[in-house]
Amino acid sequence: MQTAGCPACGRQHAELASENPSHVVNTGGRVFESRIRNVLCPGCGLIYNDPMPSDAELSDLYRAMARDIADRPQPASARILPIERDQAEFVSGHAGVERPAVLDIGCSMGGFLAALRETGARVMGVEPSPHDAEVARTRFGLDVRPGFFEQADFGSLRFDVISLRFVFEHVRDPRAIVRRARGLLAGGGRLFIEVPNLAMPFVGLDDYFSYGHLQTFTAETLAYLCARENMIPVAVVEGTNVFESSPHPPSIRAILRSGEASEPESPNVDAVRAHLARYLDARRRLIARVAARVGEATESCRRVVVYGAGTHTAELWRACPFLAERTVAMVDGNSKLQGHRFLGVPVHSPREILSLEPDRIVVSARTAEPVIAAFLRQHGLEERTVRLYEHAGVAAA
């Protein structure tokens, strides 16, 4: 854990934005517990982790997460997600040249680059996860450099577009990334950044301020940070939401180009404070509503089963401390978690749910809730199911 001041403007003294004394991630057969403290810079409005997790702490977590992903069954054929196709269309519409040379930083399993290649682009990726890089190579035949962008050697290569899709919020030094990317752009080249948008957060028991999100942006604070490295927005789109089957919150998409080195104007910090206050209030109200609903639904029950054994359930435990003595088991589709205990409760496969003879099943998952509810309905458990969200939209109103 380290403190280094605001990653955008360098200011040392910031105000507390949000604090979680024990954020729990259950992944790869391990439980990670950490304190997450986010602060808001009164100079420029950027919200960032203070202290920052170290590189060692982050890579430890990401390695465990990679073990989970590596174990999941791979789809047999090449598959491009709807969001990746949408991002590719967006980038190809803003590239400014025919057949652009594109570098995707943190290219994951390559769907975005594969979609972009179909539009005529010449594409390359860099990806720190060996598993994802290998899938991108074998499934799509892509040129993917292993490791982190910061250390990768591109020689004399220059790019028309460099993209960061849901990567920029995870980096420890975002200005250094912009600086390096700027140096790798061809004349007139564009930077594409897509990040979650604090102005449109999801509201769930699993906090919007999650582990690994080192920066939290609004469109204004993102533009300001990039402007400090002489990258100026050409186009900014807020509210894009094309994730497949899950109510992820809308994002910010920014296309930036190299610009003059004048001192950028500071964002409206009060506007950021207002977005933050609205989110924190909505989450407080959600927690109170969940505690009341779960309390009522499980009252006098002695065989509660909780569906889900991850971050969301750790937060459910905090919201509903009475669940600890009413819960006999958890179930989770992640085979890495089955056969272990989480929060002192044994975790089983969802296939065993009937044999657990539950009085009530509390669905502890935000984005997967509709899918899990459908599974329970198929097993005739609809009347014993307790849902926490139900409504389709989860973005804060």
Q: Which residues have CB under 8 Å from 338's CB, separation 6+?
A: 332, 347, 348, 349
Q: Which is nearer to Zn ion, 160 or 169 (CB)?
A: 169
Q: How far is the CB of 165 from Zn ion (least distance, A)?
A: 24
Minimum CB distance to Zn ion, residue 218 (Å)? 13
CB 306 within 8 A of CB 330: yes
The DSSP result for 110-138, as a single string, is: SHHHHHHHHTT-EEEEEES-HHHHHHHHH
Q: Which is nearer to Zn ion, 145 or 172 (CB)?
A: 172
Judged by CB under 5 A, the residue of 17, 24, 31, 43 near Zn ion is 43
Q: Is 44 in the site for Zn ion (CB under 5 A)?
A: yes
264 part of the interface to Zn ion, by CB under 5 A: no
Contact pattern from residue 23 through residue 42 relative to Zn ion, giving x for each residue in contact according to CB under 5 A and a dash for the rest: ------------------x-
Query: Nearer Cβ to Zn ion, position 40 or 305?
Result: 40
- Rounded to whole angstroms, what are the CA distances from 379 to 36, 245, 352? 39, 22, 11
What residues numbered 268-327 form the site for Zn ion, per CB under 5 A? none
| Per CB under 5 A, 196 contacts Zn ion | no
Least separation in angstroms between CB 8 and Zn ion: 4
- Show Cβ contacts of residue 273 under 8 Å, excluding neighbours closer than 6 positions: 40, 45
Tell me the CA end-to-end span of the chain in Å, nearest whole number.
Answer: 35
- Compute the least distance from the CB of residue 250 to Zn ion, in Å: 24
C-beta of 202 vs 217, nearer to Zn ion:
217
Pairing verdict, β 30-40 and 15-27? antiparallel
Q: How far is CA 291 from CA 219, 288, 321, 323, in A?
A: 34, 5, 9, 10
At 345 the three-state DSSP class reads strand
- Look up residue 303 and give its DSSP letter: -
Q: Does 14 engage in binding with Zn ion (CB under 5 A)?
A: no
Q: How many residues bind Zn ion (CB under 5 A)?
A: 8
Nearer of residues 41 and 362 to Zn ion, judged by Cβ: 41
CB of 235 to Zn ion, least distance (A): 24
Residues lying near Zn ion in the complex (CB under 5 A):
6, 8-9, 11, 41, 43-44, 46
